[in-house]
Structure 1
Amino acid sequence: MKHTLSVLVEDESGALSRISGLFARRGFNIESLAVGPAEDAGSSRLTMVVEGDDHTLEQMTKQLNKLVNVLAVTDLSAIPSVERELMLLKVSAPPEQRSAILDLVQVFRAKVVDVADTALTLEVVGDPGKLVALEQVLQSYGILEIARTGKVALERASGVNTAYLKTTASDKRVPA
C-alpha cells in the first residue's frame, strides 16, 4: 500500500541527505519526494510517497522520529487530506490536430504555457489520478516530454473526507 508522509524538519544543511540516507540503508524506496519551506521560519516540509504495509510504515516513522532534525511525522494516507501535483507536458501538436488537443485539455483545466509550430507545452495541477488520465488521453497524439513535481499534501482543516463523500454520493444515485 502507498502512504503519503508529511515530515516537518528543521531547515538545516544535510537534513534531506540524512533522511534519504536513512531510507536507503533500510531498503525503503521513496516513490515521490517534494520539499519546500514550511509555515514557520527555519523549518521545511517534506512530502514523501512510500510503499509498504502497516509494519513497514511504523518502522519508517520510528526511524524518522529518531533523527535530530525531524520535528513531526504524519501519515496523511490515514486522515482526510488535500493532495496535489504539478505536471508540465509537451505534446506533439501539428496545426491539423491542435484544436482537438486544445478541446481535450480544457476538460482537465490544463493551461497552455508554450506554443511552437509542432508542439504545445501544457501545465496541469491536480490530484495524481487527474494527471495520469490527461497523460493517457494525450498519448495518442505523441507525448514528447513530461516533468512532474511529486505529490504535495496537507491535512484537511475541515476534517472532511472527500473520498468517503464520493463513495456515499454514488451509493445514493437512483438507477436509470
Structure 2
Amino acid sequence: MTGSAYFMASSSAALETHTLVVEVDNEPGVLARVVGLFSGRGYNIESLTVSETQHAEHVSRITVVTTGTANVIEQIKAQLERLVPVHKVVDLTATGRALERELLLIKVRGKGEDRVEALRLADAFRARVIDATTESFVFELTGKGEKLDQFIELMRPIGLVEVSRTGIAAIARGPEGL
C-alpha cells in the first residue's frame, strides 16, 4: 500500500471515545509519565481526573477520556500497561457498564428577569446555588457531559461569566471492583 493509500484507508476508520481507568503508584512524576505517553505519541486527552483512592497503599486512580480508532485505543492501553508505576488499565467503555459524571461550577450574572430565569433553569437542571450576591450566582451541577453542556448554553444569554469543570469521574456498575 502506498503512503497516500494507507492514509486514506486509516483515515476512514471510525473514531471512538473511550474512558480508561489507570491505577498507579501515587508518587511524584507518575502523572507526567502518563500524560507524556499521550503527548509523545500524538494522542489527545479529552478529560483527565486523578486522585489518591487507596491512601494506605499509596495508589491513585487516573481517569482518562481519549478518542481514536479501535487500533489506537488498543495501542494506548498496551503502552499504558507497560509503564512501570501502572498497576492496572481498565477500559470502562469496553465493559459497557460504566457510570460517568462531571462536576460543573458556573457563575452567572443577572438582575431582574434574568435572575429569575437563571434560578428557574437551575431548578429544572437540579443545580444547587452555592453562592449568591445581588448581581450573580454560582451554581453547582453534576451529571453527564451533555447535560452540563446544555446548562452552560442556556446560561450564556442570561449572563454567563465563568465556567469550571472537573472532567469525568467514572466507575463500573455492579459489585466487582477493578
Moved more, 79-88 or 95-104: 95-104
Aligned match of 1:110: 127
Once the two structures are superposed, residues 108-159 of structure 1 have per-residue CA deviations (whole angstroms, 9 ceiling, x without a partner) of 1101111122211111011111101111221221211000000010111169
Aligned match of 1:20: 35
Q: Name structure 2 gaps, 5 residues minimum.
A: 1-15
Partner Cα distance (1:85, 1:53) in 2: 24
Partner Cα distance (2:54, 2:172) in 1: 14
* Aligned-pair Cα RMSD in Å: 1.4
Query: Of residues 36, 39, 59 in structure 1, which corresponds to 2:51?
Result: 36
Q: Name structure 1 gaps, 5 residues minimum.
A: 160-176
Q: Secondary structure at the match of 1:38?
A: strand
Query: Of residues 50, 66, 75 in structure 1, which corresponds to 2:66?
Result: 50
Partner Cα distance (1:71, 1:156) in 2: 21
Aligned match of 1:77: 93
Partner Cα distance (1:54, 1:11) in 2: 29
Identity %: 40
What TM-score, normalized by structure 2, do the two folds share?
Answer: 0.85
Q: Secondary structure at the match of 2:66?
A: strand
Partner Cα distance (1:80, 1:97) in 2: 40
Give 1:95 deviation, angstroms: 3.1
Query: Of residues 115, 133, 136 in structure 1, which corresponds to 2:150?
Result: 133
Aligned match of 1:171: none
Aligned match of 1:2: 17
Total equivalences in the alignment: 159
Partner Cα distance (1:83, 1:47) in 2: 10
Aligned match of 2:13: none
Q: Which amino acid is the alignment partner of residue 3 of structure 1?
A: H
Partner Cα distance (2:175, 2:115) in 1: 41
Q: Secondary structure at the match of 1:94?
A: coil
Q: Secondary structure at the match of 2:107?
A: strand
Q: Secondary structure at the match of 2:28?
A: coil
